[in-house]
Structure 1
Amino acid sequence: MATVVGEGSAASAARRAQIIDATIETVAELGFAQTTFARIAVRGGLSSTRLISYHFQGKAELMQAVVDDIYRSINEFLLGRVDVDPASRPIVRPAGRPDLPSPGSAPAELRAYITGVVAYIGAHRSRMRAIRSISAAVYDEPGNPAVGQADPASPVMSHLQDMLRRGQADGSFRTFDPLVVAAMVQQPLEGLPLLLQNRPDLDLERYAAELATAVDLATRRPDRG
């Protein structure tokens, strides 16, 4: 990432956030290929594309920042849902945050993850359209940040596999390959933004409930009832 004078200042952080937000809206509307610094500048009300170049060395670095920002916001959203659902947990616990109380059980935590991510997608449709467009456009490029999320060792997949292993260890879940089931859980979530483009009125609460129930039936021990 480019190092610039005053990068750590509040004004610089605000400018970077403004650029990232404008980029998300531009990609969501026009797609990755049609997104240029000039169009981002217009969307963000910037006087010159040089304001973008000052903070980001190129389009690839800016898109990395967009992907990072979206996943950071998902993490914060899940953490903020603890008051709504005590079983909700962030994918990565932010540094300096106090320990959270026990989620109760692995099945409850898994259901909270599914319903929380669906709620985030419904509330942040531009962000999810943007990350889908970035993923589709540069999926095969080395170092593509969106591809990294499918890596079994990525934060998302590691979070799900850890959750599934805990449920197996305490007897809540049957014996299965945690990687396979983690992918089974994540794929319908990552495909939801595309479904919403064609069905914007989709009942998201029902979608989350049906997916959570299907995952519960697929993972529970036969004798759990």
Structure 2
Amino acid sequence: MECAIDTMSELGYARSSLAEIAKRAGISKGVIAYHFTSKNELTEQVALELFGRAGRLIDTRLEEAPTATAALRGYLEANLAFIGANPDLVRVLTDIVMNFRDADGSPRYGPQDDGLIEHLEGTLRHGQETGEFRDFATRAMAIAIRAAVDAAAGRIGRDPRFDIGTYTRELITLVGLATAKSP
């Protein structure tokens, strides 16, 4: 799995064949084929592994949050900290999300995988129910927040001037102002 991630990080998803991954791992392609029936199956497992790593970090922050405001801040901090600490992994995951296709040619990941949005939407709804957040369309806000996080993921590997710390602070301020209850 780690060799597949490293290969995809260096060569990109499209150019990472099972043969190349096996060569870099110092094993035969048959060993990979014993565990994974195809590049698609291996890619799916790589994506699940990387989503899982980020998800565990984020879940820990959300479990510790005493309020919806703290949960939203923790969500942003954990997401952006993962991106900042793992630019190579984020590049692999972004490449997979953008290029991995189902058998019918449709993107494997995308709007149909709304679990991230729905989870965030639940946090926003909870904040409204407790009176911490103003009234707004939770789905639209969740999509906007997720898009801002994803923008950092897309920028981290290709913009040497990108400062994830400043981005994190400014995004937390922006989201705080956007969700804040009016005085």
Q: After TM superposition, is the score higher than 0.5?
A: yes
Q: For residue 55 of structure 1, what is the aligned residue in structure 2?
A: 35
Q: CA RMSD in A?
A: 1.9
Q: CA deviation at 1:60?
A: 1.0
Alignment of 1:222 onto 2:154: no
Among 118, 128, 134, the residue aligned to 1:158: 118
Q: Distance in 2 between matches of 1:23 and 1:187?
A: 27
Using a 3 Å threshold, how does the CA distance of structure 1 residues 110 and 194 change in structure 2: closer, same or farther?
Answer: same
Q: For residue 50 of structure 2, what is the aligned residue in structure 1?
A: 70
Number of residue equivalences:
181
Among 56, 59, 78, the residue aligned to 1:116: 78
Among 147, 160, 175, the residue aligned to 2:135: 175
Where does structure 1 lack aligned partners over 5 or more consecutive residues?
Answer: 1-19, 81-87, 90-99
1:51 aligns to what SS in structure 2?
helix
Q: Distance in 1 between matches of 2:161 and 2:24?
A: 27
Equivalent residues in 2 for 1:1-225, closer than 5 Å = 20-45=1-26, 47-79=27-59, 88-89=61-62, 100=63, 103-138=65-100, 141-142=105-106, 144=108, 146-147=109-110, 150-151=111-112, 153-154=114-115, 156-223=116-183
Q: CA deviation at 1:152?
A: 6.7
Q: CA deviation at 1:27?
A: 1.4
Q: Which amino acid aligns with 1:32?
A: Y
**Percent same amino acid at aligned positions?**
29
Deviations 1:62-98 (A, max 9, x none): 1110111011111222345xxxxxxx22xxxxxxxxx
TM-score normalised by structure 1 residue count: 0.74
Judging by fraction of residues, say which structure has more helix: 2
Q: CA deviation at 1:132?
A: 1.0
Preserved contact between residue 31 and residue 130 of structure 1 (Cα < 8 Å): yes
Using a 3 Å threshold, how does the CA distance of structure 1 residues 52 and 79 change in structure 2: closer, same or farther?
Answer: same
After superposing on structure 2, the runs of 4+ consecutive aligned residues of structure 1 that deviate more than 6 Å are: none
1:213 aligns to what SS in structure 2?
helix
